Chains A and B, each alone.
Chain A
Amino acid sequence: MNDNKKITMLVAEDENHIRMLLKAVANEIDAEVVAEAKNGREAVDLCRIIKPDITLMDINMPQLSGLEALEKINETNPNSCIIMLTSVADMDSVRKAVKFGAANYILKNTPLKEMQQMILDTWVEHKKSLEEQA
């Protein structure tokens, strides 16, 4: 990605007010929410079409869970930067997220400033690892 361009972001979240909040979070870190998904199925489809820099993925969503969507997206594009953003705080889900190739896993109760920094750090680290692979 060109450093002058805004980071493009897909927000996959079934709760409307949380999508709004995440758009504000994205704005704070100079990222642009280019698409929104209300369920896991939409997230998979939009990721394939739009190829956003970062996907913020909830876990508990209808049709396809965030973890199932993560697995499907990484099957076709293992270089995706998918950050799980959820209130699910159990070890099984975290292990699955690692297994399916999530770039990070952030709990929704994380303070917003910290959350913004974690998203940015994850993106920088992800970009660096892609550049090292190239």
Chain B
Amino acid sequence: MRERYDLNEMLKEIKSESDVDLAPKKNEKVTQTDISKLFGKNKLKEIKLGKSQDQSGEPSEK
């Protein structure tokens, strides 16, 4: 016979035993200043790479 699990209890245990944040990542809100900084950094990267576009598919704020 299959053992039944209480998923909520399991989740509680996982949370209590680890530091892992299991909550869905909230989409971070940004201001115009944040956006301008991000675009500014990306432009700098383009200049360094000599490209018109970041081909990696990732913005350069990493």
Contacts and interface: CB of A to CB of B under 8 A. Distances in A.
B52 interface: yes
B16 interface: no
A125 B28 contact: no
Interface string B24-45: 0001111110110011001100
Q: Interface SS of chain B: helix, strand, loop or mixed?
A: loop
Contacts, number: 51
A91 B30 contact: yes
Contact of A99 (B30, B32, B34, B54): B54
A64 to B, nearest CB: 20
Given A90-B30, A104-B39, A79 B59 contact: no
Contacts of A79: 52
A98 B35 CA distance: 10
A62 interface: no
A101 B57 CA distance: 9
Interface of A: 74, 78-79, 89-92, 94-95, 98-99, 101, 104-107, 110, 125, 129-130, 133
Interface of B: 27-32, 34-35, 38-39, 42-43, 46, 52-54, 57-60
